[in-house]
Amino acid sequence: RRFFLFFFLLRVFFTAALAIVPIGMWQLLIFFYILTAVGFSGANIFYDSFLVDTTTDERMDRVSTNGFAYGYIASIIPFGISLAIVFVIGMDEYLGFQLGFVITALWWGLFTIPMIRNVKQKHYIETEPNPIKNSFIRLGKTFKNIRSHKPVFIFLIAYFLYIDGVDTIIKMAVPYSQSVLGADSFDMFVLLGILLIIQIIAFPFAIIYGRLAERFTTKRMIFVGILTYIVACIFAYSIDHINDIFILGAMIGSAQGGIQALSRSYYAKIIPKKNSNEFFGFYNVFGKFAAILGPFIMAFVTDITGNPRYSILGIIPLFVLGFIVLLFLPKTTESVEVHPVE
């Protein structure tokens, strides 16, 4: 909880601090941005680990998907306010973007207060001397022993593969489309439209995934998400008009929130609750590191073929391999109680 507060405050403070960076001080801007990214990533580890404290295994899918859904739809609000300040009110762009950083920081700060006040940590390690040193010791033990937790080990391998594909498509969909259709086909309003479509579509579909997971199991719905992304890759290969980008955005949005949320809830069910912080540390590191492989594959395929269209097909093996590895998870995994790492 204390670590969450530290990283949360780091994120909020330096997001607001971006507003005071003078024009031309790009080094300071990058430094502040790195600190906001560290704050977000750090807070997200402990935020995810709170999932085991806030609900039961039976309701975990619903809680996780609802969290992603509300996050997607709510993120549009500060973004929309910031755009309205510049394009509707007509405020100077630089001043408008400064206010946008402040609005975003206030948004995060205000809407995190209810969690800070009401969410209590139930599963935790008892207070001990030298907590930072002992945390690293436990993390090392977790890393050494993680292979003995077979369901966790198998899932992390699968997650590394398919979430790499997910993150790559999220980050590279627009650059890929620009390389295929030409940068002249895009303007700022097209880019904003794609972003809004993904966010808006992701809201209901994340909730739908949660409900369907209760009926068909979490793992099966993760399979559905993986298959949706494979279809999206095949569709992306054939795009030839700007309208196709909006269809691609809708396809991505239909699976994005669901696969992210259910991966989190599935993982939360199979890890030792007492060590959720350490295990979610590995989970998030796997997710962040995986984002390196996908763009490398796309660049490599484009380089050897000379055709950027083939690069998106190069992502499909990540989904296929992730799908195959998931098949090796025990059917009873979702109800297995894993022994904690002491």
Domain 148-328 has CATH 1.20.1250.20: yes
Ordered mean pLDDT values, 10 residues apiece, the chain (342 residues): 87 92 89 92 83 83 91 87 80 82 91 84 55 57 71 90 91 85 74 85 93 93 97 93 89 93 92 77 73 87 92 95 92 50 46
Place of tokens 């198998």: 154
Q: What local confidence, expressed as pLDDT, does residue 155 receive?
A: 92
Q: What local confidence, expressed as pLDDT, does residue 229 receive?
A: 96
DSSP symbols for 76-139: HHHHHHHHHHHHTS---HHHHHHHHHHHHHHHHHHHHHHHHHH----S-PPP-SSHHHHHHHHH
Q: What local confidence, expressed as pLDDT, does residue 145 receive?
A: 66
Q: What local confidence, expressed as pLDDT, does residue 290 receive?
A: 59
Instruction: Put residue 22 in one of left, alpha, beta given phi > 0 → left and psi -120 to 50 → alpha.
Output: beta
Domain ranges of the chain: 148-328
Q: What local confidence, expressed as pLDDT, does residue 11 receive?
A: 92
Q: What local confidence, expressed as pLDDT, does residue 175 receive?
A: 86
Q: What local confidence, expressed as pLDDT, does residue 127 receive?
A: 52
